[in-house]
């Protein structure tokens, strides 16, 4: 393979040995990184699964109530009552560094802190089911926010793990073996040259001795 | 300050509007696509976009583009007909991507 392209000299041998050392160290470090990422990833997945089921249950219940509310009230009244929200949510994002992956951390502030302020309508013309639905939505919203954070973290970690895994494999199965092969090739070539020189010298010595003393 | 948006059928997003989220009613995939484009445009300030599951099927290519960028987070939520399990499939896809195979066993 690559061994044909290299010149078998001591200088190249030293260079290759240096590269092999670096590759080995990099491989070990990346492997550790991959393992740690994997550990974190598994935790995130577990959390995600729990949150996902909780959010889906909560939302399904809330939508159910909303459906009931919309069948009791006329669509116009319903739309009217929800048209102007009194509550508004502001989100701020901080980034946390997990093994060189920047994962988001959300925190939100609502404009009105009073939980009863979520109802943007008077209670006179609306049905109680609508209140229920909104309350359920408000309750599940915290989980939804957490789910967003966890899910994004999961996606970002997955990407990083994929990258790291590829690097580890490339080092382990391609870079390091080919370096080792090249080093072996040069060492053998050098040994061969050395042998050749030695044999030649012995031969020359014999010839010289024969000429001087007529030895047989 | 960043904001949160919801894309889904009019009935779904209505409730979220009351909570103070930005509601983007979309009755079909085209409307949803337009809404998504607007929300994710350069310089927009939406950090989380919740999108209804049944819309995701048609918009998956657009949504998957944002998987690797830290903002925005696009999260599936079940529609008014209940969950179809698509949300969990996103989890399985992530696992498969990271590990190479599905190790969760489902």
Is A61 touching B (CB cutoff 8 A)? no
pLDDT of residue A187: 94
For chain A, helix (H) and strand (E) counts, in that order, are 4, 2
The reply to whether A37 falls in a domain is: yes
A-chain residues within 8 Å CB-CB of B73? 104, 148-149, 151-152
Task: Tell me the pLDDT tens digit for each residue of B34-93.
Answer: 888 888 777 777 888 888 888 877 887 877 778 777 778 888 888 767 667 777 777 788
The residue of chain B nearest to residue A106, with distances taken between CA atoms, is B47
CA distance B87 to B72: 17
| CA-closest candidate to residue A174, choices A20, A34, A29 | A20
Domains and CATH numbers, chain B: 3-80 (3.40.50.10580)
CB-CB neighbours of A153 under 10 Å? 25
**pLDDT < 50 positions in chain A:** 1, 3
Interface test with A, best of B3, B7, B14 (most A CBs within 10 A): B14
- Say yes or no for a CB contact (<8 Å) between A67 and B99: no
Task: Tell me the pLDDT tens digit for each residue of A153-173.
Answer: 888 888 899 999 999 999 999
- Say yes or no for a CB contact (<8 Å) between B78 and A63: yes
The residue of chain A nearest to residue B74, with distances taken between CA atoms, is A148
The reply to whether A85 falls in a domain is: yes
pLDDT of residue A22: 95
Per the document, the length of chain A is 216
- Say yes or no for a CB contact (<8 Å) between A90 and B98: no
CA distance A55 to B53: 13
B-chain residues within 8 Å CB-CB of A148? 48, 50, 73, 75
A-chain residues within 8 Å CB-CB of B15? 62-63, 66, 82, 133-134, 137
Helix (H) or strand (E) holding A161: helix A128-170
pLDDT of residue B82: 65
pLDDT of residue A166: 92
- Say yes or no for a CB contact (<8 Å) between A154 and B91: yes
Contact (Cβ atoms closer than 8 angstroms) between residue B104 and residue B92: yes
pLDDT category of residue B5 using cuts at 50, 70 and 90? confident
What CATH number corresponds to the domain at position A40?
A: 1.10.287.3240
Contact (Cβ atoms closer than 8 angstroms) between residue B15 and residue B6: no
E strand spans, B1-106: 3-8, 22-25, 46-52, 73-77
Q: What is the DSSP letter of A89?
A: E
CA distance A58 to A137: 7
Give Cα B103 distance to the centre of its chain. 25
Which residue range forms the structural domain that includes residue A147?
A: 2-211
Buried/exposed B62-73: b ≥16 CB within 10 Å, e otherwise: bbeebbeebbbb
Q: Which two tokens stand for residue B32?
A: 């949803």
Task: Tell me the pLDDT tens digit for each residue of A71-81.
Answer: 777 777 767 77
Residue with tokens 């919203």: A141
The reply to whether A216 falls in a domain is: no
Q: The pTM is what?
A: 0.79
pLDDT of residue B105 exceeding 70: no
Number of domains in chain A: 1
A-chain residues within 8 Å CB-CB of B99? 38, 161
């Amino acid at each position: 393979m690559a061994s044909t392209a290299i010149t078998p000299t001591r200088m190249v041998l030293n260079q290759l040995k240096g590269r092999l050392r670096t590759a080995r160290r990099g491989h070990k470090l990346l492997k550790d990184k991959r393992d740690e990422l994997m550990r974190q990833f598994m935790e995130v997945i577990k959390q995600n699964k729990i949150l996902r089921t909780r959010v889906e249950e909560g939302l399904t219940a809330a939508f159910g109530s909303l459906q009931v509310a919309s069948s009791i009230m006329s669509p116009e009244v319903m739309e009217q009552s929800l048209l102007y929200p009194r509550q508004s949510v502001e989100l701020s994002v901080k980034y946390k560094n997990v093994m060189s992956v920047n994962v988001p951390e959300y925190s939100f502030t609502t404009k009105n802190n009073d939980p009863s302020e979520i109802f943007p309508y008077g209670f006179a013309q609306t049905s109680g089911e609508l209140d229920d639905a909104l309350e359920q939505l408000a309750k599940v919203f915290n989980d939804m926010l957490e789910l967003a954070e966890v899910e994004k973290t999961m996606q970002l970690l997955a990407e990083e793990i994929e990258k790291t895994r590829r690097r580890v494999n490339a080092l382990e199965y391609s870079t390091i073996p080919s370096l080792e092969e090249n080093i072996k090739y040069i060492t053998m070539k050098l040994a061969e040259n050395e042998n050749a020189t030695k044999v030649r010298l012995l031969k020359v010595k014999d010839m010289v001795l024969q000429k001087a003393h007529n030895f047989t | 300050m960043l904001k949160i948006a919801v894309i889904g059928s009019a009935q779904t997003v209505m409730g979220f509007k009351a909570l103070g989220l930005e509601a983007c009613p979309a009755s079909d995939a085209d409307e949803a696509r337009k809404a998504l484009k607007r929300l994710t445009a350069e310089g927009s300030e939406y950090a989380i976009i919740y999108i209804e599951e049944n819309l995701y099927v048609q918009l998956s290519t657009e949504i998957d583009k944002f998987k690797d960028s830290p903002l925005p987070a696009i999260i599936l939520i079940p529609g008014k007909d209940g969950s179809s399990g698509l949300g969990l499939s996103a989890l399985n896809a992530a696992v498969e991507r990271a590990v190479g195979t599905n190790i969760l066993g489902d």
